[in-house]
């Protein structure tokens, strides 16, 4: 029995389907080639819009109004210019075509292999802290999905984490300082040492945001800051921590920087300051900076316990009452400061009782700056003399109403050697140099908001004014101008801020040097003085000769009577 042939549509169906697919692919390729410019421009417009949204999100809120005004001005100028809209459209299409080209394709989403391994390692390290056996659906588990725990992340050029959002379970004790410190230490170690990290805990959303802080500027030198009387610039900090900026001059550049301003005087809540640090951390530079700012409106008494002449440039300057390096001079100066504080208190109290304003001599600020006062404690004990720190009790307790301010700087390991009034009344605190988290917290009374690092430049540390938050601090470079290791630009900056040399107010020690200065001028005339003209004039001595007529005049008077 012969087989009947299959219909042609069934025998050649596969070939026809393949042919139709080829025709569809060819048509699609042709359409893509025809529409390629339109696709490129559309892709470029989308990328330009995304860049504009990012730029708008990064712009601070206080600057968005100016940005909108600028955009409106540009649109108005383009609309009024001849052929302005046409040229703007052509420019926009050209920019979109350039941004939408294949070579400008965006980077592939998601981390690469090295970044993925870093995130997986960080996730595995957090498992013991964020997991428990009773959790039915643990967010953290060995071999789990790290992308659920890290919804947002970013890396720098070296494939190190620069931004990270960490989700953690609700049962984690994020309100305990010890638990937070363990997580922060782990994240800082796993993300890369040698950088400062800022941690933001969102207790309501159970999220922790980790950001890498950029280093503070170290090129700021001592200069005249734009401040009001009674305001002292301790240094500069992050722009996100304060809402004020100061104009600065850094070489030939001018920029604004956020300062840490310490307000002193009658209405200050933190009238006295304590600065601690390791040797070479910049505490002496901080005291010089404070002294140069204080001399603009007040008088200064300086006690140098280091004995290295760090404040020799201030000796004999206008407003500098004393620069003491010896125990006897220190005791005398601090005793005078205590009596001066009492005198001001009495004068101000009498003026208040009489209904008069305080006298002018109680309004001028008086600054008592002490560098390493604990060095005199041993000397005073060995000499059976009074500890100089005991003389600070009156200025510390009663100095604020009469504009008397005390600033103490010492080494970090000498904190226990400071007297109780010094530790109790210095509520403005500064810690400079490398220090552990526990040391910073013991001095400032609160832990730092960043992770301390082991190597920092001089003048870098933390500051806290009373109960305010802890700020990162970079003290402006104020080196000793007479030191050979000081750069010429820094030396000249400090010398320009020094007051002129003038005589002290009492004038007791000045006549000697004033008379000694003209003495060298007649020195070249000893040959003319050898003929002894002066003794010849001294022999007649008219004064004793005139003394004889005096009794003669008294004798005839009774005879005449």
User: Residue 285 annotated as binding?
Assistant: no
**Cβ atoms 131, 143 nearer than 8 A:** no
- At residue 19, the 3 state secondary structure works out as helix
User: Residue 280 annotated as binding?
Assistant: yes
**At 407, phi and psi to the nearest 5?**
-125, 125
User: Residue 333 annotated as binding?
Assistant: no
Q: Which two tokens stand for residue 136?
A: 């039915």
User: Residue 466 annotated as binding?
Assistant: no
Q: What is the DSSP string of 284-315?
A: HHHHHHHHHHHTTTSEEEEEESS-S-TTGGGT
Total residue count of the chain as it appears in this document: 561
User: Alpha-carbon distance 309 to 371, whole Å?
Assistant: 11
User: Residue 73 annotated as binding?
Assistant: no
User: Residue 281 annotated as binding?
Assistant: yes
User: Residue 245 annotated as binding?
Assistant: no
Counts of helices then strands in the chain (DSSP H, E): 20, 16
428-432 and 273-277 beta bridge pairing: parallel
User: Alpha-carbon distance 216 to 239, whole Å?
Assistant: 10
User: Residue 504 annotated as binding?
Assistant: no
Sign of CA dihedral 119, 125, 130, 131: positive
Question: In what side-by-side order are the strands of the sheet with 428-432?
Answer: 259-263, 231-236, 471-474, 460-465, 428-432, 273-277, 404-411, 366-371, 299-304, 320-324
**Cβ atoms 301, 337 nearer than 8 A:** yes
Which residues are annotated binding-site positions for ATP? 277-284
Which residues are annotated binding-site positions? 277-284
């Amino acid at each position: 029995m012969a087989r009947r042939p299959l219909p042609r549509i069934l025998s050649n169906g596969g070939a026809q389907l393949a042919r139709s697919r080829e025709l569809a692919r060819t048509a699609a390729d042709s359409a893509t080639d025809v529409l390629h410019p339109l696709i490129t421009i559309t892709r470029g417009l989308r990328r330009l819009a995304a860049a504009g949204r990012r730029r708008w999100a990064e712009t601070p809120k206080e600057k968005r109004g100016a940005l909108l005004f600028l955009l409106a001005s540009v649109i108005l100028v383009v609309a009024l210019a001849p052929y302005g809209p046409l040229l703007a459209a052509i420019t926009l299409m050209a920019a979109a075509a350039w941004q939408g080209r294949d070579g400008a394709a965006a980077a592939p989403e998601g981390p690469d292999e090295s970044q993925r391994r870093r995130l997986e390692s960080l996730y595995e390290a957090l498992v013991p802290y964020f997991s428990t056996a009773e959790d039915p659906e643990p967010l953290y588990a060995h071999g789990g999905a790290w992308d659920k725990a890290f919804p947002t992340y970013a890396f720098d050029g070296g494939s190190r984490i620069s931004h990270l959002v960490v989700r953690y379970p609700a049962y984690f004790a994020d309100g305990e300082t010890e638990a937070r410190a363990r997580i922060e230490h782990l994240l800082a170690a796993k993300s890369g040492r040698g950088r400062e990290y800022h941690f933001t805990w969102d207790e309501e959303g159970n999220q922790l945001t980790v950001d890498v802080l950029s280093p503070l500027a170290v090129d700021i030198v001592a200069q005249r800051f734009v401040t009001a009387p009674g305001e002292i610039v301790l240094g500069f900090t992050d722009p996100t921590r304060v809402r004020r900026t100061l104009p600065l001059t850094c070489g030939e550049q001018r920029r604004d920087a956020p300062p840490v301003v310490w307000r002193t005087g009658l209405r200050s809540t933190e009238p006295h300051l304590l600065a601690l640090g390791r040797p070479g951390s910049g505490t002496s530079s901080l005291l010089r900076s404070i002294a140069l700012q204080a001399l603009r409106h007040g008088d200064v008494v300086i006690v140098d316990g280091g004995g290295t002449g760090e404040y020799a440039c201030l000796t004999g300057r206008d407003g500098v009452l004393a620069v003491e390096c010896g125990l006897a001079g220190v005791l005398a100066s601090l005793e005078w400061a205590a009596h001066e504080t009492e005198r001001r208190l009495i004068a101000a109290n009498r003026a208040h009782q009489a209904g008069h304003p305080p006298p002018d001599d109680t309004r001028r600020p008086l600054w008592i700056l002490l560098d390493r006062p604990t060095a005199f404690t041993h000397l005073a004990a060995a000499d059976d003399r009074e500890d100089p720190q005991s003389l600070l009790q009156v200025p510390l307790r009663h100095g604020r109403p009469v504009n008397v301010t005390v600033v103490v700087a010492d080494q970090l390991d000498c904190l226990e050697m400071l007297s109780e009034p010094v530790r109790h009344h210095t509520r403005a605190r500064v810690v400079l140099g490398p220090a552990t988290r526990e040391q910073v917290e013991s001095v400032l009374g609160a832990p730092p908001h960043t992770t301390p690092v082991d190597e920092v430049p001089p003048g870098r540390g933390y500051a806290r004014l009373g109960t305010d938050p802890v700020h990162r601090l970079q003290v402006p470079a104020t080196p000793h101008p007479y030191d050979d290791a000081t750069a010429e630009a820094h030396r000249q900056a400090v010398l320009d801020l020094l007051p002129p040399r003038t005589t002290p107010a009492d004038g007791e020690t000045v006549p000697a040097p004033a008379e000694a200065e003209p003495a060298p001028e007649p020195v070249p005339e000893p040959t003319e003085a050898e003929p002894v003209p002066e003794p010849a004039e001294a022999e007649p001595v008219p004064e004793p000769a005139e003394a004889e007529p005096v009794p003669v005049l008294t004798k005839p008077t009774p005879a005449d009577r």
